[in-house]
Structure 1
Amino acid sequence: MKREPATERSQDGRHTADPDPRLCGTDSTAFTAFYLRHVDDVLHFVVRRVADPHLAADLTADVFVAVIESADSYRGGAGGPRAWLYGIARNVIASHARRASRQRDTEAKVAGRRLLDADDIGHLEERIDAAEGARRVYMEMAALHVGERAVLELIAVDGLTVTEAAAALGIRPVTARVRLYRARRALQAAVQTCDADPTTPIALV
């Protein structure tokens, strides 16, 4: 059965069709319409992961460059264009993170370490102490299986439905539900451990 194009209400209350992503690689008008429809969603996705405004703008632009380059790969499905876009955005951000990590390693080898004075150390200790609770939960989240962490981020942080998150990750919705359940159970256990005994270390392996 042929799927009807996704629609949403415009400001005047009329329904408008979502531009077909498959046209973005060859039709500049279609790409412009698609960009205007989804740029805010993509930007929000990026800024939840990147704090630098210039970098966020660059990565958002990179996502839409990737849209043009991979338009032919769009196959529709239950997740729709937003889930497809979020899948692209995850890949763009992950690629940037890998490049940035390699660059930091290189710079560290060249520059060495800067010595900290007493004020620097005191300031860092205060910030480290203040962030201990959140850091412990984050460490436990980082220790989750990569697939479970990805589902949890897309649903709890980015607001996708289970179906949309599954589409973004290329997995079945039932698999996404199982991973989400496991991730939530692991984090709940971590929070309870922290509340019961703040000195108890959280295992990362």
Structure 2
Amino acid sequence: MTPGPGAVEDVIDAQLAAQAGRDPAVFSAVYDRHFRDIYRYIAGRLDVQAADDLAAETFLIALRKREKFDPKRGGLRPWLFGIATNLVARHRSKEARHYRALARVGAEPDADSHESRVVSAVSAQRLQPQLAKALMKLTRGERDVVLLMALGQLSHEEIAQSLGISYGTVGSRLSRARKKLRTELKDIEP
């Protein structure tokens, strides 16, 4: 049986991580392979300027801690998303204030912002204040799971690895989040 594309990527990531532990120059391949996904995830959670800074910081932390990466505990990609999620959490008060302000005044971000493009893809522009309000009703853990899935396009298993929680916890948080979001957005026409 031939391994699937995900399995091949995991092997390549494990090899890169092992080599990067011994040779920091190899880490540029890790950066080239994953920076774009990490950047998009952070930009979707915060804003483009924060994404520039936090994506770079994600890889600086990963470079410094590369010898601590253990492929037995999970893949390189979820490990990087876990670092990014922790950095976003440090900025979560800013994120929470931002969503509260959007929900309160119904202001729309700049049309050229990444956040605007993400929200537009998920829902019509007019739903943005309601979506922001609904996201604020989620716990931090629920919001992390939803946004890792929606913006990072991680699987349940990768989310579990990223956040250091069980696969079942991912499922239960996602289920609770979906129920809350449905309740909050039920009166809105598609």
Corresponding residue to 1:162 among 128, 131, 156: 156
- Greater relative CO, 1 or 2 (CA 8 Å, sep 6+): 2
2:77 corresponding residue in structure 1? 82
- 1:92 aligned partner: 87
Q: Which has the higher helix share?
A: 2
2:55 aligned to which of 54, 60, 78:
60
Work out the CA distance in 1 between the residues paired with 2:54 and 2:106: 32
Q: What is the aligned counterpart of 2:140 among 137, 146, 149?
A: 146
| Cα deviations by residue, 1:134-171 (Å, 9 ceiling, x for unpaired) | 32232222121221221111112321111111110101
Q: Verify: 1:195 aligned to 2:184, yes or no.
A: no
Q: What is the one-letter code of the residue matched to 2:34?
A: H
Query: Which residue does the alignment assign to 1:33?
Result: 29
CA distance 1:172–1:87, change in 2 (3 Å): same
> Aligned with 2:132: secondary structure?
helix
On the 8 A contact 2:134/2:185 being kept in 1, the answer is no
Alpha-carbon distance, 1:27 to partner: 1.1
Letter in 2 for 1:56: A
One-letter identity of the residue aligned with 1:82: R
Deviation at 1:173, TM superposition (A): 0.7
SS at match of 2:143: helix
Q: Which runs of 5+ in 1 are unaligned?
A: 9-15, 102-124, 197-205
For the residues of structure 2 that align with 1:34 and 1:133, how far apart are their CA atoms?
Answer: 37
Count of aligned positions: 159
Aligned counterpart, 2:64: 69
The sequence identity of aligned pairs, in percent, is: 31
Q: Following TM superposition, by how much is the alpha carbon of 1:40 offset from its aligned partner in structure 2, in angstroms? A: 1.6
Contact 1:22 1:73 in 2 (8 A): no
For the Cα contact (< 8 Å) 1:79–1:166, is it kept in 2?
Answer: no
Q: What is the DSSP-based 3-state SS (H/G/I as helix, E as strand, rest coil) of the residue aligned with 2:31?
A: helix
Residue 25 of structure 1 contacts residue 69 of structure 1 at CA under 8 Å; is this kept in 2? no
Do 1:155 and 1:165's aligned partners in 2 also have CA atoms closer than 8 Å? yes
Q: From the superposition, tell whether residues 94 and 148 of structure 1 become closer, same or farther in structure 2 (CA, over 3 Å).
A: closer
Larger radius of gyration: 1
- Are residues 131 and 75 of structure 1, via their aligned partners in 2, closer, same or farther at CA, if it must alter by over 3 Å? same
Q: CA RMSD in A?
A: 3.1
Structure 2 unpaired stretches of 5+: 1-5, 96-104, 109-123
For residue 151 of structure 1, what is the amino acid of its counterpart? V
SS at match of 2:38: helix
1:49 to 42, 45, 52: 45
TM-score, with normalisation over the residues of structure 1?
0.65
How far apart are the structure 1 equivalents of 2:156 and 2:20?
26
Runs (4+) off by over 6 Å:
none
Q: Quickly say closer, same or farther: Cα 1:143–1:77, change in 2 above 3 A.
A: farther
Shift of 1:28: 2.0
- Per-residue deviation at 1:26? 4.3
